[in-house]
Structure 1
Amino acid sequence: MKAVITGDIINSRKVASALWMGDLKDILKDYGNEPKDWEIYRGDSFQLIINPVDALEIALLIKAAIKQHKTLDVRLAIGVGTVDYTANKVTESNGTAFVNSGESFEGLKKQTLGIQTPWSGFNETFRIIFQLVVLFADNWTTTSAEIIKKALENPGINQKELALALNRKSQSSISASLNRAGYEELKNVIEYYKQEIKKQW
């Protein structure tokens, strides 16, 4: 089983790609090699193949990285399934993971995060959970997004260390930002997602 994240940047024409492209690539590079495991195409669309257990956490990390830039957001669709053919470019590989990711992406409309797997009960549960996740995530400010990104990248550090890593003066401002951004709730959703997806195979 593999997961494929298909995404595209919302409002990409309003912000020079030089400003956000590096942030996106830095995350994608951590999870594989270009273009076999990930690829950016059509200027503002991308695809990444990863372990299904990590898919939600990586999707939220990408969202935080992009939302550091004012006016930008990202649509993300996770597809879980098989990979029947692995090409040199991820966009030319295929299998149910790719089909599910593509179908989930097509169905997003106003929603910015979706998932499609072979398990209908799982899909229904997380469709509802993701609607709640984006209530937080779609409204992250640039500051919240920066703090969430650093927190997701460094799960072991405390708020004082987080404040230092971000060159912020006070731990209390970090704490307030994490609360506003729903960080604890997001962490709980990520853990629940990991636990539930491991039960599926």
Structure 2
Amino acid sequence: MRESADFVGVVTGDVVSSTSAREPGLVQETLSRVLNDVSCANRSGMVRDFAVYRGDGFQGVVTPGDALRVALHIRMSLLAEFRRWGEKKLDVRMGVGVGRVDALGDSPGRSRGEAFLLSGRGVDELSVKPAEKRRLAVRTPWEPFNRALVPQCALFDALASGWTERQSRAAGLALQECGTERRIGELMGVGQSTAHQHLAASGFWAVEKFIEYYEQWVRELVSGEERSHG
């Protein structure tokens, strides 16, 4: 177990309604594959790769500025798979926590610190009002920033709930920074214009603004904390 006092981003989540899926084993298999792909695609931002626990739960540790982008990459990639199967009830619930870490273990449950506590609280918050179908919560040590993110997370959830398989996949590939729309189209087996249409229909431009806002403020807030304790 590595000792650390640095800031990290912790992404904790689970698959919603996985026990009611037609093939629960396929859900777990797909979850493991997607998490591995996301860890590899975001290698520069990974502190500890994602691991699956308790069947449909997962957790990974990333740099603070990358935490939201990585979380949304997971959601988009899994939604694409669930939509492809026709499993409309399946979704992903995630809590993103940013804070200091006291001890960084090599697997979920073996780490301690503010970031892990906040990430877990985020997941817990999402089950309080199930009728709202909230799927994303971001918690940090900075309460004004947390309050600003609540409506943004809610708007993202509302947007993502209406995505088709192709819209989810196109958005996930764009977050993976696969390059141009031509390249995204090649990976999806469609033309550039069709890839563009999928991204436009998903409202991906708004997702990018959400991520940019988060990245800018997290980096400034973390930098300010480090300077004040330096």
Is the contact made by 2:36 and 2:50 (CA closer than 8 Å) also made in structure 1? no
Is the contact made by 2:13 and 2:92 (CA closer than 8 Å) also made in structure 1? yes
Relative to structure 1, the CA distance from residue 37 to residue 18 in structure 2 (aligned partners, 3 Å threshold; closer, same or farther) is closer
Distance 2:162 2:102 in 1: 38
Shift of 1:138: 2.2
1:163-185 Cα distance to aligned partner (Å, 9 max, x none): 123220x3232222111111111
**3-state DSSP of counterpart to 1:64:** helix
The aligned residue for residue 176 of structure 1 is 197
The aligned residue for residue 141 of structure 1 is 164
1:103-160 Cα distance to aligned partner (Å, 9 max, x none): 11100123100011000000000111111111112222111111111111125x2222
Shift of 1:20: 4.2
The aligned residue for residue 139 of structure 2 is 116
Given candidates 13, 20, 33, the residue that maps to 1:22 is 33
Shift of 1:59: 0.6
The aligned residue for residue 5 of structure 1 is 11
The aligned residue for residue 183 of structure 2 is 161
Distance 2:180 2:36 in 1: 27
Relative to structure 1, the CA distance from residue 84 to residue 31 in structure 2 (aligned partners, 3 Å threshold; closer, same or farther) is farther
Is the contact made by 2:35 and 2:50 (CA closer than 8 Å) also made in structure 1? no
User: Superposition RMSD on alpha carbons, in Å?
Assistant: 2.0
Is the contact made by 1:6 and 1:77 (CA closer than 8 Å) also made in structure 2? yes
Shift of 1:37: 4.2
For residues 62-141 of structure 1, what are the structure 2 equivalents within 5 Å? Answer: 62-69=74-81, 70=83, 71=87, 72-109=90-127, 110-141=133-164
Between the aligned residues of both structures, percent identity stands at 30
**3-state DSSP of counterpart to 1:91:** coil
**3-state DSSP of counterpart to 1:77:** strand
**3-state DSSP of counterpart to 2:211:** helix
Q: How many residues align?
A: 198
Is the contact made by 1:37 and 1:90 (CA closer than 8 Å) also made in structure 2? no
Relative to structure 1, the CA distance from residue 91 to residue 37 in structure 2 (aligned partners, 3 Å threshold; closer, same or farther) is farther
Distance 2:103 2:153 in 1: 29
Is the contact made by 2:52 and 2:58 (CA closer than 8 Å) also made in structure 1? yes
**3-state DSSP of counterpart to 2:106:** coil
Distance 1:93 1:4 in 2: 11
Relative to structure 1, the CA distance from residue 29 to residue 158 in structure 2 (aligned partners, 3 Å threshold; closer, same or farther) is closer
Output the amino acid matched with 2:201. R
Q: Any unmatched runs of 5+ in structure 2?
A: 1-6, 128-132, 223-230
Distance 2:50 2:181 in 1: 32
1:31-51 Cα distance to aligned partner (Å, 9 max, x none): 56xxx5432101100011111
1:71-91 Cα distance to aligned partner (Å, 9 max, x none): 231001101111101223242
TM-score (norm 2): 0.79
Q: Any unmatched runs of 5+ in structure 1?
A: none
Is the contact made by 1:77 and 1:114 (CA closer than 8 Å) also made in structure 2? yes
Is the contact made by 2:31 and 2:56 (CA closer than 8 Å) also made in structure 1? no
Shift of 1:22: 1.3
